[in-house]
Structure 1
Amino acid sequence: MPSIRQDLAGDSENFFEKHCADLGVTVRGTYDLTGLRADADLMVWWHAESSDHLQKAYADFRRSALGRHLAPVWSNMALHRPAEFNRSHLPAFLTEEPRGYVSVYPFVRSYDWYLLPDEERRDLLREHGQMARDYPDVRANTVPAFALGDYEWILAFEAEELHRIVDLMRELRASRARLHVREEVPFYTGRRRTITDIINDLP
């Protein structure tokens, strides 16, 4: 087994570091989900200028030495677009270094959200943002996913300490904007680790 793991680790490191770069794909992180969910142990977060490049990387990974041992349980794509009320805003993954932990989840707005007057929606989002002001260390990524899957948005919160994500999520439960959320599961949360370390800890 040690030699098999060694081979898998070497092949996977080469895949994520070299092959993905050759495809124009940036790997933001490989994350250890062990014990946080029963259906997943590994999550990969990658991004690129083109969705075609991501699909190619995903297909190649499925055919890799490690990928052939894995079964996908959840896969989603989102596409950065200018924010509705702050068009200069960029998600953290485009401008900042990754943090030690991430929590990724989808959400779908209520049917009437998009029919509310712009000023009302702006006010609700402003309140939501103000409630997060005590958590500047938790970096947000809110990316549109309309028509790319079953969800409208994909979110990823990053922080160096897991409890900061937990505390922020609890705080935001009291925002009025949450009354306009129809769906916000599943959650995939884990620690950013090298693919070698993750492989070495797999059963």
Structure 2
Amino acid sequence: MAEQNVTNDHPEKNPSWTAHDQKRDAKAQYALYSIFKRPLGGTDIDNPEEAVKLFEDVVESYKSRVTVRGVYDVSNFRAGADLLVWVHGPNLQDIQALMRDIRKTPLFAGLEPTWQVGGVHVIAEFNRMHAPAFQEGHAPRKWITIYPFVRKADWYLMDNRERALMLREHGSEASKFTNVLANTVAAFAMSDYEWMLAFESDDPTELVELMRTMRYTKARMYMKNELPFHFGRRIEYGELPVVLRYL
């Protein structure tokens, strides 16, 4: 499967997009991004290897219902963040249940969730190109940056043609980054934000350059908020004890 570039995942390109009035050819896909930190002085665990196995067992028990896209070392890039867990699936209750069970495991029992945002994407019958990379079957990349954003109110009320022109420019700039995978989900009502984005790349500098480049587009003038950013590296489950300072 060819790589998906960042232009292939932008529901805002369709001004009339809603979750209610489009014909659908797939079930809703929900995504949840959870940031955890291990408090200073937190309780150690006796057997880190066994703790990893217990975590893996929980993930395995949900694999037919929820996909763990990855766990990411986001430590030392900002305070209050050690680990990102990114999961997705067709049923919100299953996602919630998985996260509850993960937090019961020894690796996570002593962690504090410091930031969590969920979102949803539904593939429209007439516009499959807007599907997130995770839904299209693209393999995860090594590095990730995630962030929410909220548009200014007049963005949604402007003339459709004017908005389309700005998004065309936006997409043209983004298309230069062909090795970056984009994942956009709607977060309206599910959080304090409107959209949630995750960009993936094997080269972390590509993510830096992508975000810098997008600052020079007109659509940027209609951004109200796009914080916080979380940035990190996808890790193997066996690395969790080191990242969480159990070893």
Bin for the TM-score computed over the shorter chain: over 0.9
* Aligned 8 A contact 1:20 1:27 in 2: no
* 1:168 partner amino acid: L
For the residue of structure 1 that corresponds to 2:164, the secondary structure is: helix
C-alpha distance in 2, partners of 1:2/1:64?
Answer: 11
Aligned to 2:164: 122
Aligned to 2:205: 163
Aligned to 1:66: 107
**Shift of residue 118, structure 1, vs aligned partner:** 1.1
Aligned to 2:52: 9
1:1-203 aligned at under 5 Å gives the runs 4-16=47-59, 18-22=60-64, 24-82=65-123, 87-89=127-129, 90-95=131-136, 96-203=138-245
For the residue of structure 1 that corresponds to 2:63, the secondary structure is: helix
* Aligned 8 A contact 1:124 1:176 in 2: yes
**Shift of residue 3, structure 1, vs aligned partner:** 5.3
* Aligned 8 A contact 1:5 1:200 in 2: no
For the residue of structure 2 that corresponds to 1:134, the secondary structure is: coil
* 2:196 partner amino acid: I
* 2:230 partner amino acid: Y
C-alpha distance in 2, partners of 1:42/1:67?
Answer: 10
TM-score when normalising by structure 1:
0.93
C-alpha distance in 2, partners of 1:149/1:179?
Answer: 23
**Shift of residue 82, structure 1, vs aligned partner:** 4.6
**Shift of residue 176, structure 1, vs aligned partner:** 0.6
Q: Whose helix fraction is larger, Structure 1's or Structure 2's?
A: 1
How many percent identity over aligned positions?
39
* Aligned 8 A contact 1:33 1:42 in 2: yes
TM-score when normalising by structure 2:
0.77
**Shift of residue 139, structure 1, vs aligned partner:** 1.1
**Shift of residue 73, structure 1, vs aligned partner:** 0.3
Where in structure 1 are there 5+ consecutive unaligned residues?
Answer: none
* 1:12 partner amino acid: F
For the residue of structure 1 that corresponds to 2:75, the secondary structure is: coil
C-alpha distance in 1, partners of 2:243/2:222?
Answer: 40
* 1:50 partner amino acid: N
* 1:7 partner amino acid: E
**Shift of residue 55, structure 1, vs aligned partner:** 0.9
Where in structure 2 are there 5+ consecutive unaligned residues?
Answer: 1-43
For each residue in 1:98-129, what CA deviation from the matched residue of structure 2 results, as whole angstroms up to 9, or x when unmatched?
Answer: 11111010000001010011111111111101
For each residue in 1:57-97, what CA deviation from the matched residue of structure 2 results, as whole angstroms up to 9, or x when unmatched?
Answer: 111112222221110001111000357xx822211111111
For the residue of structure 2 that corresponds to 1:112, the secondary structure is: helix
